[in-house]
Each structure stands twice: as structure tokens, then as C-alpha cells.
Structure 1
Amino acid sequence: MRLLHTSDWHLGRTFHGQNLLPDQEAVLTALADLAAEHRVDAVLISGDLYDRAVPSPEAVQTASRILARIRAAGITVVAIAGNHDSAPRLGAFTDFLAAGGLHLGAAAADVGTPAVLPDPDGDVVIYPIPFLEPDLLRSGWALPAGSGHEAVLARAMDLVRADLAARPPGTRSVVLAHAFVVGGRAGGSERSIAVGGVESVSADLFAGFDYVALGHLHRPQVLADRIRYSGSPLPYSFSEADHEKGVWLVDLDAVGGVSATRLTLPTIRRLVCRRGRLAEILDTEPDLADAYLSVELTDPVRPVDPMRRLREVLPYTLVATWVGGSPAPAAWPAAPAVPTGHDDADLLHDFVRDACGRPASTAERDLLDEALRALRIPA
């Protein structure tokens, strides 16, 4: 049985105001083609198909096109709702979709009911566990007051184990979950799933299963040979600029042995951070014109309209911050106290000194004094 493990598509996400849907469709089309090329039996999507609980029509249409491309290759899809998704919306028409090879795990009531994939070596059961909100499940699952993510996911795994125990011995099993598992490293663009408690859960909850396909953390990583995060298909933060985005190609042998290979997804647009004077940034390598860019400007005087000037040459500049030629402080200092006993001119001259790191020149002082005189209303 061959599986392709992906997660955290976040369709409809914006990046510093930039619409990412074209980039997302391009990389997910490549993902669908990889699935077909490697003749996988199922694609596993471990949550956060969408970035919002109410996705835009364009995001839904993009998801439909990608999923249809996967299904056209005869590949089953098993997906779960993540903390960004609306479980009721994502789970609409679940029974009808399952008949067509798209299995959606969205409802807590369905935890423990697997998608069963036939195989010459015996059925493989795939248990989709959607993101479970403790506040909504304590009462229905009779959990103690204050129970958090660990207790809720432990109860879900009890339901999964009860179903697996009723199946023939040696049945191969896979779990999809959307959680922050202890030992995982965040990528920097994840939204916290903690609401009034600790969000992390123990990897021991997943003991005894042949493969655990995790979602939520955007950095690809291996927690154990059978427990892995695929990471997001695109970087969603400049802190993820060095991530190599991809998917896991997972092979289950006849007795549940696992081998996993990392398949790299194409980089649609690089994320690059640069620091320097505005003129230096503008006179830079030409391929930066195709990169999403974050710039720290070190000019001694704040440049005029730097974002417009940057985008004229580097159209995908998304962030431009003036740092005034000094290293970024470890922590921003407290705002200076407003001086007393100073007239308006003194305050303006002090502002120039604080903003530019030097006293106002004679010409600047004359200009400020002239502006003040023009603004004063005669008594």
C-alpha cells in the first residue's frame, strides 16, 4: 500500500496582503501529479485544507480542481478538518463523497470509523481524527472539568483502538491527526490551538499504529519512524524561508513495515530577507525581482516612500522596515519621557534627533521654525 502524506494547504491564505491562491494551485497541481506519477493508492491530507472557516468561493474552486485531479488518477483521498477549517462545512455530504473516493473526517461523532482501503495483502484501515476542541467535547465525552487536548485526543484514540481490536489480527492501520505533538518544532506561521490550556500532546498516544500522518506544524519533521509531519506545501512566513517543502511517500508492506521517502515540491516563489541601504537593495541581483522580499533599511535618514521605490524594481516586496543603520535591539526600549519646560521648537528638534540619530541641521531647524511660525494663530 502506497500513501502520500500532505497537510496544511491553507487555501485562501494571504501573505502580507499578497494573494497566494495562484501559487497554491501551482504547487498543489505538482503535488497531484507526483501522486499520479508514483502510483499512490491514497493521498492523506492531515488538516487545514482551507485557511478560514468560511473560505472564499475561489479557494473552494481551487480545492475542487486539485481534488478532482487526484481522483481522476484513481487515487483515494482521506482528509481531516484542522483548526482553521469549519468542520461542519468541510464535512457536508460526507457519505456521498466517500462513495466517490473522498473520505472526510470532520465530526467528532465519527471518530473510530475508518476509511477501509482494499489491498491484495489485506485491508488497510485509515482513521481520520479531525481537530478536536476540548471545550466542545468535555460534556459529550464525559471528561473531567478542565480536560485539555491530551485528554480529548486520548479518548479519541481509545475509540480508534476499540475499532481496530474488532478487526482481524494484523490489520494494517494508519491515523491522521491535527495536533501539536511534543517534540515537534513550529515553523512560525501556525496559529496556536491552545484555548485555556496546554496545546501539546504526547506522541505515546499513537503507539501501536503502523503510520501516523500529522498536520498542524508547517515544518516537515520526523518524530519517530512511524510518526511524521509533512509540513505545509508553501512557506507562510519569512521564518520558513529555509524550509524545503514537500510530502512524504509512505510504503506499507504486507506486515506493516514502513518506509518513507521525502518528495520535494517545486518552489513557486522564493522568500528572501535583505538588510542594507535602499540604494544597495535596489542595485542588487536581478533574480530578486521574482522573490517575495522582506527588507530592513539601514539608511541613516528614513527614506521617502521606500515601499513604492522598492516595488518599482522588486515588485514582490512585501515588507519594508527602516531600522536606521543600527542593529535591531533585543527588546524595544521604553518610550522616552516627554520633556518638560521645552517649547514647541525644542520638541521638534528633539524628535529629529531621536528619529535620525543626529541633531537637526541648521537648514532643518530653520525650516521647522518657519513651519511653527506659520501655524501659530495670533492672539
Structure 2
Amino acid sequence: MRILHTSDWHIGRTFHGHATLDALRGVLDALAAQVREHRVDLVLVAGDVFDSSAPPAAAYPLLTDALVAIRDAGARVVVTSGNHDSAARLGFLSPLLREGIHVVTDPATIGEPVTIADAHGPVHVYGIPFLEPALVRHLWPEAAVRSQHDALVLAMERVRADAAARGGRSLAVAHCFAAGVEPTPGLERDIQQGGLDVVALSAFDGPDYVALGHIHGRQQLSERVRYAGAPLHYSFGEGDKPRGSWLVELDAEGLASVEWLALPVPRPLVTLRGAFAELLADPRFTDAEAAWVSAEYTDATPELDAMRRLQERFPWCARVEHAPMRRGADDGRTYAGRVRAARTDAELFDAFLVHVREGEGASESERVLIHEVIADEVIAEVRA
């Protein structure tokens, strides 16, 4: 049996204020084409199908079209809900979809698999929706469910017990932050690393393969426990992460192989750093003119209307940051201390510039201008 593991579609999410629906539609069309090309039998979508509990209206037809395209390509589908989804809204779709598309959102059904057969017998697929401890502890009244770790441990106990009773091969699909993950800053807004939301890898013992969602970059925690990541880049922190899914093959004994299938990147992400004039004119940045751009300019002083000016060269510039390269020597004084120590108006100006420009005081040309302004003010006062 061939299984395609994907996750974190985040339908409806924006990228620095720009809509991503059209780009995501193209990527999911490519995923459906891979299903047909590689004769995939089953697609697992491990949570965060939508980006919010109340997605925009256009998100629903995109999801329906994607699932139907995968089904038409020959695969069955098992979808679970993530922390960004509304389980109720996502679950509402389940009875409306065609045969072969299964949406698992009810924690009460944990341990009840979707069973699919191949030439070697049954494969039991256990979908585990995102488990918010406060909302699922009633399922295990005999246990103390204080964290996601606690909830996943109990959920997987149900999975293992049912799989042992049924026999055959099994898969699990879950949405969580598992121990051993190396998150990239900005990839997932709800991760709490180092706290009670970390699920021990041992919790996932048992199934032949565990398809995880929640992390937006692909990661392999063990041969049989992996994250596929998101199919689209949703932040500049993800710019160097490949996009795609895992193609998993089961034989009669269990896990036989896992292969990465890359997906197309509609528009690459680049971070440019340099002086503002260089960003506007340097030929070495030519390749970035068709990319999403995060620009960091290193000039000592901020530029006026920086975004508009950069977008004249980089139409897809989405982020601009003033990141001065040079810093003045730190004398240990506070701004108030520098003001008290100033003996002239020119020194007051300089103290202010040092404070707002990360230690960079007035340049020689600025000192000349400051002295001219002060002199003009003095002359005006004398005349008055």
C-alpha cells in the first residue's frame, strides 16, 4: 500500500497581508497529480486544514476541490483536525463528502479506525484530532489529563489496544509538538517548547507509521515517525525549508520505505541585506525581483517611504526592516544621563540621535546642519 503524508494546509492564511488561496490551489493540484503518478492508495492530512476556526468563504470550495481531486486520482483520504481548525466546522463536512473521504474530528472516536485493505490484508488508520486537555479529559475520568502529552499517551493506548485486537498493520495520524523537533522561529504560532505541550516520542510506539502535523517544515523523528510540513511557505523563517510530502510504502510485514516527494514553490522567499542604495540598484539582487522579499537595510538612518521605493524594484517585497550595521561605542550612560551631561544645544541633538539610532550620533554633515539651525534660531530670537 502506498500512502502520501501531508499536513498543515492552512487554507485561508495570508502571507504578510497577501492572499495565498490561488498559490495553494496550484500546489494542491500538483499534489493530486502526484497521487495519480505514484499510484497512491491513501492520503493522510494531519491537521490544520484551515488556518482559523472561521475560515473565509473561499476556503471551503478550495478544500472540497482538493479532496475530490485526490479521490478522483485514485486515493482514499483521511483528514484530522488541528489546533487551527474548528473541529465542528470541519467535521460538518464529513457526511457531505463522497465515499472514500474520511474526516476525523471527534475525540470520542479515537481507537475506531478507518480500515483499508490491500493485497496483504487490512491496514487500520487511526485518526487522532487535536486534543485540547481541558476539552477531552472527560474521556478519561480515571486519569489526570493536564497536558497534551497526557492526552496523547491515553489516546495511543486506545489505538494500540484496538490494533492488537484487530491484528494486521496500522497507521496513526496526529497533530502535536513531539519531543525531538527543531522548530524554526515563526513557523508555528502555538508551540510551547520545553513545557507540558511536548509529547514524548515513546507515546507513538506501536503503529507501522505515524503521520504528524503542527510543524511547518519536514522532520524525521524516527524512521516511522515524521512531520511532512506545510505545502506552502507561510513565513520568511520557512524560506529554506523544502515543500512536499512523504510517500510511505507498506508491505506485508509493515513499513517498507519512505520517500520525499517535492512540491512546486509558486514564488521563492529571499531575505536581502545591504545598504538601501545597494538594494535599489545592485545587480547581485536581480534574481530576487520575482521572489517574495524581506529587505533589511543597514543604513545608519531610517529611509522615508522605504516599502514603496523597494517595491519599485521588487514588486513582491513584503517586509522591510531597518537594521543598522554600525553602532557607536556604548559608554554605559542612559539617554537621561546623556541629556543631563549635554552642555550645548548641539550636544542635546547628538544625545537624541545616539538614543534613537542605536548608538549612531550625528555625522559631520548633520553637525553642520544642526549648527546652522541653532544659529538661525538664535538670530531670530535676537531680532525678536
TM-score by length of 2: 0.88
Q: Secondary structure in 1 aligned to 2:157? A: helix
Note the 1:71-110 alignment, pairs <5 A. 71-97=71-97, 100-110=99-109
Q: Which residue of 2 aligns with 1:28?
A: 28
Asked if the contact 2:145–2:151 (Cα under 8 Å) also holds between the matched residues in 1, the reply is no
Task: Give the gaps of 5 or more residues in structure 1.
Answer: 328-332
Q: What is aligned with 1:358?
A: 361
1:187 maps to which of 174, 184, 188: 184
Distance 1:24 1:87 in 2: 22
- Code of the residue aligned with 1:247 in structure 2: it is S
Output the CA distance in 1 between the equivalents of 2:379 and 2:104: 70
Distance 1:290 1:190 in 2: 26
User: What amino acid is aligned across from residue 175 of structure 2 in structure 1?
Assistant: H
CA distance, structure 2, for counterparts of residue 44 and residue 119 of structure 1:
16
Over the matched positions of the two proteins, sequence identity in percent amounts to: 42
Partner of residue 319, structure 1: 319
Residues 197-276 of structure 1 correspond to what in structure 2 (within 5 A)?
A: 198-276=196-274
Q: Structure 1 residues 89, 143: CA separation in 2 closer, same or farther (over 3 Å shift)? A: farther
Alignment of 1:1-379 (within 5 A): 1-97=1-97, 100-142=99-141, 144-145=143-144, 147-167=146-166, 169=167, 171-188=168-185, 189-194=187-192, 198-283=196-281, 284=283, 285-326=285-326, 336-337=335-336, 339-340=339-340, 347-355=348-356, 357-359=360-362, 360-367=366-373
- Gap change, CA 1:96 and 1:161, over 3 Å in 2: farther
1:8 Cα deviation (Å)? 0.7
Contact 1:217/1:229, CA 8 A, preserved across alignment: yes
How far apart, CA to CA, are the structure 1 residues paired with 2:199 and 2:314? 43
In structure 1, give the amino acid aligned to 2:42. Answer: A
Deviation at 1:336, TM superposition (A): 3.1
Instruction: Give structure 2 stretches of 5+ with no counterpart.
Output: none
Query: In 2, Cα distance between the equivalents of 1:127 and 1:174?
Result: 6
SS in structure 2 at match of 1:156: helix
SS of residue in 2 equivalent to 1:257 = strand
Distance in 1 (alpha carbons) for counterparts of 2:226 and 2:155: 19
C-alpha distance in 2 between matches for 1:110 and 1:242:
38
Q: 1:291 to 1:118 in 2, by over 3 A?
A: same
- Secondary structure, counterpart of 1:303 in structure 2: coil
Shift of 1:165: 2.4
Counterpart code for 2:113: P
Could you tell me how far apart the structure 1 residues matched to 2:145 and 2:165 are?
32
Could you report, residue by residue, the CA deviation over 1:122-164 in whole angstroms, capped at 9, with x for unpaired residues? Answer: 1111000011001112234215556211111111112212221
Q: Return the offset for 1:192.
A: 2.2
For residues 267 and 373 of structure 1, the distance between their equivalents in structure 2, rounded to whole angstroms, comes to 63
1:245 corresponds to which letter in structure 2?
R
- Alignment partner of 1:262: what SS? strand
Deviation at 1:17, TM superposition (A): 1.6
User: Normalised by the size of structure 1, how large is the TM-score?
Assistant: 0.89
Deviation at 1:257, TM superposition (A): 3.1
1:372 to partner: Cα distance = 11
Q: Is the contact made by 1:276 and 1:298 (CA closer than 8 Å) also made in structure 2?
A: yes
C-alpha root-mean-square deviation of aligned residues, in Å?
A: 2.8
Range moving further from structure 2, 298-307 or 225-234 = 298-307
State the AA in 1 paired with 2:292.
Y
**Deviation string for 1:96-143 (max 9, x for gaps)?**
53x521111111111111111122211111000011001112234215
Aligned-partner residue type, residue 43 of structure 2: V
The answer on whether the counterparts of 1:114 and 1:128 sit within 8 Å (CA) in structure 2 is yes
**Contact in 1 for aligned 2:224/2:255 (Cα 8 Å):** no
Is residue 226–residue 258 contact of structure 1 (8 Å, CA) maintained in 2? Answer: no
Task: State the 1:82 CA deviation.
Answer: 0.6
> SS of the residue aligned with 1:321?
strand
Query: Residues 161 and 353 (structure 1 numbering): CA distance in 2 closer, same or farther, change over 3 Å?
Result: closer
